[in-house]
Amino acid sequence: MVLLGKYKPAMALLRRYMETFLVALYFDLELKKYKKNSKTFEHFEKEKERWIRKGRRFRFRGEYGLVERLVNPDTDYVALEVMKNTSTSFSKSSFRKYIEEIYSNLSKSVHFGGINLPDDMLITFSEYNDELFKEWYSRLLQVHEICNLLLVINFPSIVEHYEQYSKKEIEHERRIPLLLDSQIKILKEQGVFDADS
């Protein structure tokens, strides 16, 4: 979309990607907690299937929102340490609030009023706008980093699997890194990989 000059729809797709990732991670974490034959496991399995089939909506921000359930104090602390030590522009005091802020910014592109998104895609002419492209690209990097940081904190073994896969399948220069090496180093220092089960 962004290559066609459709910046608002491209932002909306980033939000959809972020939503889908966060909900899938939530269900993976919940299902990981319980024995497969337990009633609670079956409950979450049914909820996950309902979400997949019917697109059940979740509240993402605020008290009892999905982000609050995903980012407990330990996750918030570790992610905050990574962000503070690897990003010169990161100045937030809470990783959870940072996620909610990015989500809110992406939501502005979805709820811009008046025209439905598909109509906007058809009516708006393709036009390159350097400022809008840079904003979209910045959001893309933020969403990528948020999702991958949450993934690695909650499923640390993914790093080893990713490295093995990427060495075999993709030229090193062409692969998109899961996280920066400096971020992985901080996660190791914080003991994230010690807790992997």
On the question of pLDDT at 61 being above 60, the answer is yes
**Tokens standing for residue 121:** 């895609």
On the question of pLDDT at 163 being above 80, the answer is no
**What local confidence, expressed as pLDDT, does residue 89 receive?**
77
Residue type, 164: Q
Least confident range of 25-39, 115-129, 174-188: 115-129
Structure confidence by residue, pLDDT tens digits, 16-47:
999 999 999 999 998 898 888 899 999 989 98
| pLDDT (mean) for 174-180 | 77
In this prediction, residue 101 has a pLDDT band, given cuts at 50, 70 and 90, of: very high
191: left (phi over 0), alpha (psi -120 to 50) or beta: left
Neighbour-count burial of 170, counting CB atoms closer than 10 A to its CB (0-12 exposed, 13-18 middle, 19+ buried): exposed
**How many CB atoms sit inside 10 A of residue 53's CB?**
8
**What local confidence, expressed as pLDDT, does residue 143 receive?**
96
In this prediction, residue 98 has a pLDDT band, given cuts at 50, 70 and 90, of: very high
Integer Cα distance of 119 and 142 in angstroms:
28
Q: How far is CA 105 from the centre of its chain?
A: 14
If you average pLDDT over every residue of the chain, what do you get? 84
**Structural contact between residues 76 and 94, judged by C-beta atoms closer than 8 angstroms:** yes
Residue (of 158, 138, 136, 161) closest to 149 by Cα position = 158
**What local confidence, expressed as pLDDT, does residue 126 receive?**
72
On the question of pLDDT at 96 being above 90, the answer is yes
In this prediction, residue 114 has a pLDDT band, given cuts at 50, 70 and 90, of: very low
**What local confidence, expressed as pLDDT, does residue 190 receive?**
92
| pLDDT (mean) for 35-60 | 87
Choice between 35 and 1, residue whose per-residue pLDDT is larger: 35
pTM, whole model, 2 decimals?
0.81
Following DSSP, what letter does each residue of the chain receive, concatenated? -GGGT-HHHHHHHHHHHHHHHHHHHHHHHHHHHS-TTSHHHHHHHHHHHHHHHH------SSTT-HHHHH--HHHHHHHHHHHHHH-TT---S-HHHHHHHHHHHHHHHH---SS-HHHHHHHSPP---HHHHHHHHHHHHHHHHHHHHHHHHH-THHHHHHHHHHHHHS-GGGSPPSS-HHHHHHHHHTTTGGG--
Structure confidence by residue, pLDDT tens digits, 135-162:
999 999 999 999 999 999 999 998 888 8
**What local confidence, expressed as pLDDT, does residue 168 receive?**
65
Residue whose structure tokens are 């299937």: 49
